[in-house]
Amino acid sequence: MFSPKLPYRMPASPHAKAVFLAQLMYVPPAWLSGLTADRASALLTDICLYRHLDRKQKENVIRRIRALPVRRQDLLMSKVLLPIVNPDWGVWSLTTEELLQQQRFLSAIVDWLGYLGLGYSFQSFGDLLKRLRARDALWSSYGVLPTIGIWGFYWMNDTARGQIEQELYRRANTH
């Protein structure tokens, strides 16, 4: 199956394609042993595209997964189901348009928080150290926890944007 919404530039050989898709979806390399390269690459491609398939095609993918040994079924079913539960858990299953939309949204949040003066900087780190040295109340509204919460938000936001950028780069990269 092919989808122009997920324009991966994959290697030409079936074995290299299977290895590429296994790495993309964090499938252990040992999983590929015992399957032909054609079968492994076709199944991994279908799992990658699963969110974008029609009902009959989805049934076919599930049927092919159920034909595998139980240990392999569990791993592949998790790869099918996690992006359905939360698409962010399978960034590889998002369309390029969805990735760009999410990247714009996350950037807009950071921009607005910056306009409001809620950010992390060396100054906020210095303020945090002053509060810790002064032994201010940890739970106070001007205390340590709000600062740590803001930093945690920025860290999670940066992580998500980094994953999106990696995915967009992976799709544009040639092999």
Indicate the number of domains in the chain: 2
**Mean pLDDT for back-to-back runs of 10 residues, the chain (175 residues):** 60 88 88 88 91 92 92 89 82 86 89 75 69 60 69 84 86 69
d(CA 172, CA 175): 10
Of the residues 30, 56, 87, the one at which a domain ends: 87
**Final residue belonging to a domain, choices 34, 62, 87:** 87
**DSSP secondary structure letters along 125-143:** HHHHHHHHHHT--TTSTTS
Residue 58 falls within a domain, yes or no?
yes
Does the residue 149 lie in any domain? Answer: yes
Domain boundary among 60, 87, 114: 87
| 9: Cβ contacts below 8 Å, ≥ 6 apart | 171, 172, 173, 174, 175
Write the Ramachandran bin of 94: left for phi over 0, alpha for psi from -120 to 50, otherwise beta. Answer: beta
Q: Which domain holds residue 136?
A: 95-172
At 56 the pLDDT is 95
Look at residue 5 and tell me if it is in a domain.
no
Q: Which pLDDT score is estimated for 159? A: 87
How far is C-alpha 160 from the chain's CA centre?
A: 7
Asked whether residue 1 is assigned to any structural domain, the reply reads no
Name the DSSP letter for residue 171.
H
**Residue 119 sits in the same domain as residue 141:** yes
7 domain-assigned = no
Q: Looking at the structure, tell me whether residues 112 and 76 fall in a common domain.
A: no
